[in-house]
Amino acid sequence: MESAEIARRFLRFFEENGHTVVPSASLVAEDPTLLLVNAGMVPFKPYFLGQQKPPFRRATSLQKCVRTLDIDEVGKTPRHASFFQMLGNFSFGDYFKEGAIPFAWELLTRPVSEGGFGFPEDRLWVTVYLDDDEAQEIWRKVGVPAERIQRRGLADNYWHMGVPGPGGPCSEIYYDRGPQYGREGGPIADENRYLEVWNLVFMQEQLSAVRSKTDFDVAGPLPAKNIDTGMGLERMAAILQGVDNIYEIDTTSKIIKRAAELTETRYGRDERSDICLRVVADHMRAGVMLVGDGVLPSNEGRGYVLRRMLRRTIRNLRLLGAGEERYMRELTATTIEAMSGLYPELKTEEARIHTVIEAEEASFLGTLRTGTAIFDAAVAETKRKGGTVLSGEQAFQLHDTYGFPIDLTLEMAAEQGLKVDEEGFRRLMQEQRERAKADAKAKKTGHADISVFSGILEKAGKIDFVGYDRTTAEATVVGLIVNGVSVPAAGEGTSLEIVLDRTPFYAEGGGQLADQGVIRTSGAEIEVLDVQSPIDGLIVHRGKVRSGEVLVGDQAHAEIDVERRRAISRSHTATHMVHRGFRNALGESAAQAGSENSPGRFRFDFTSAGAVPPSVLRDVEDEVNAVLINDLPVRAFYTSQAEARAMGALALFGEKYGDEVRVVEVGDYSRELCGGTHVATSGQLGLIKILGESSVGAGVRRVEALVGLDAFRFLAKESVLVSQLSEQLKARREELPERIEGIVSRLRAAEKELERLRSAQVLAVAGELAAGARDVHGVSLVTHRAPDGTTADDLRKLALDVRGRFPADRAAVVVVAGVPANRPVVVVAANEAARERGVKAGQLVGVAAKALGGGGGGRDDVAQGGGSRPEAIEDALRAVEAAVASAQS
């Protein structure tokens, strides 16, 4: 039975039993405490915690999940995986044990011909919590004999979230794979033979404190008992497909087979190759699903998780013999084919997924070439010295200079039998490794507990947004929050969050910045600086009480800054049009990857394998401006998501859409799903001016542009500037590029000639300096301060030139200092005769640099240093002379 069929049977069974089928949530978790969705119940967490009221009493889902805690173990065993899928059925205060247990037993044991999984009843075992007599009795009633029901303790059969909240005993269902897999005795004897297939969690207690998995305090019973179940799709597929492990099931084995073909190896040949192939299969599934959900490779957060997985995939392909070959396109296509039966949207987004993954492959192959050579040299040096640890400085250099991830350094070092000074590396990387997560969380949800927002929403109901058609609204104050706490009133000068039962203020979302404006009551005036929607259905205005006192229950007049709204709306409509323009020019793979719509200015990110030529930017700009001049009507309407997709409406990744969606059309030119505000006709944009494009990461480009009056002002300034240049250079506008290019070429030639003359002038004194050397206990010493502005390179050339003028048998040391750019530099050169007498350049430059308030070093024959005290150059030269004298005394 294929994975897609297993999922269909599970969801169909529970749908027939009154459950709402909920599509898999994005892997990008809404929960600010999680980077990625890591369990099937995560999308329902607000309902279990009582933070939000569930829209259904029963639900069922297939949820994609990613866990990275044991990513280094992936591939080493047939059981570890970072990507997996959880089937589950959930009850929110509806049925409890008496419903969950019979449902599970019926689906597992119902014949395949009747829509079940056809498990033989005598191969199923169950476990229950130590004192859960109720669960045991229900299992007995459905037909499980007492000898196949085992009791287990807190570590195995009690569930909680790890924080105060709901918890409760659980009951697990196991499948006996047979004596060839281990000894008899049920799950408590051998969990390799008796494989867990389903876990039923009975949430019935409120935990007040949680110290560990087995150490917590129970405050009392939950007001409503809930059911949370989880069945691993991969594990179920392994059983129903008659294979030994999750890497041999239909979806994963297809990727392994293709990777083996590409690298001319064979799964099962040896342990080393098998590990590499399992890593490739697991990480390709995870990577494709993450990119499909809008995650892009980066050095932070979930983007770093994706980058790490893709780069581990590429490196394991090289270990299998891929060399410089690029196989990620083939493997991406295979993965999409394998997973599209469960997630058909992958086919729709195939071009975009290819673009992102291939760009990361190209980037990392370059990194590997350089970084691996540096790594090998570091390993050789460490082993030559008899060491067993790569220094933190070496790991930092690999990461900071060559883009080598620390995880890869750790992995490669372990393969060489070495460790890495991680503490030293972390210390050096502290600033670069800091996450912006806390700041982002504070910006979007404030510092209030989400339950505060939920409480307001529960009392007030969904907030009515009237801002599509109106810029003002009469409303009632239904909530006030100060410092994360709900309050009845707030006085003058107080920073607060205020909730109205209806509002014209647009909450930031979909790339559009929030409205600003003012809220007035009979006794107060509140300046609104930001608007957010921390939970679905709630709109929160953030600002400050300018005067008076505002009370919950006050009647209010809300008014947005109309000019700001109009400017932002122009930017938002312009973004839609530019998106269409780039798709027309580059193909459908140029998918939007983010945007920001500000007053008069917008930023648009899109997927692209490389830089966009200036000619394409000009063509897109011309096309969009030609379209907007036609003054096309801009229309917004609501329809079903399926119908919107059918008519070709584009969606912004990272945004979440319900069954009913809002579509915004610009004539027949552009059609997108969008909840933002827009102009009435394209002509209201006036003008769009693309400023340029740049890279924001592997496979993603960014275009910045101006719209409306801001675009006109920019062009007006450019026109004045061009006129001034034309007048100064006595050339027509069309002649300016050629004229300026000629001037720049001549200027560069003159600079090179000046550099040559200046260098010659510096070196001209070399003979005179050598002739004036002082004898210091048998060592000829030259100390010289060069004119300010002499480059460090010229200082070095001069020192070496002077040193070369002494006979080979005459010990000589040359010290040259100068101030190239406000900071002093000193160069010391010692010939072989001087070095044989113990005079070394590296030691002497340290003496000089110390006098200059800095440091330096180098080889025994030539060394360079510097400092921060130009006024101490003469002191530095005298310090070197004293050091030479001391060495020879």
Task: List the binding residues for Zn(2+).
Answer: 572, 576, 674, 678
> How many residues in the chain?
889
* Coil/strand/helix, residue 91: strand
3-state secondary structure of 686: coil
Distance CA 145, CA 139 (A): 8
Which residues fall within 8 angstroms of residue 160, CB to CB, at 6 or more apart?
166, 167, 168, 207, 210, 216
| Assigned token pair, 182 | 């281990």
Query: Do 343 and 292 touch, CB atoms closer than 8 A?
Result: yes
Beta bridge partners of 32: none
Cα 356 from Cα 332, distance rounded (Å): 11
- Residue 263 phi/psi, 5-degree rounding, is -100, 5
Give the whole-angstrom CA distance, residue 62 versus residue 848: 69
Under a CB-based contact definition with an 8 Å cutoff, are residues 304 and 267 in contact?
no
Kindly give the interhelix angle for 422-433 and 392-400, rounded to the nearest 10 degrees.
40
Q: What DSSP element (H or E) covers 389?
A: strand 389-390
Report how far apart, in Å, the C-alpha atoms of 256 and of each of 100, 127, 331, 765 are.
37, 35, 9, 70
CA atoms within 13 Å, Cβ hemisphere of 409: 30
Q: How would you label 667-706 residue by residue, b for 16+ Cβ within 10 Å and e otherwise?
A: bebbbbbbbbbbbebbebbbbbbbeebeeebbbbbbbebb
Q: Which residue ranges make up the annotated binding site?
A: 572, 576, 674, 678
Helix/strand/coil for 495: strand
Q: Please, what is the angle between helix 562-586 and helix 614-629, to 10°?
A: 120
Residue among 807, 795, 804 at smallest CA distance from 877: 795
Q: Two tokens at 199?
A: 């876990």
d(CA 412, CA 394): 13
The three-state secondary structure class of 384 is helix
Helix, strand and coil percent figures for the chain, each rounded to 5: 45, 25, 30
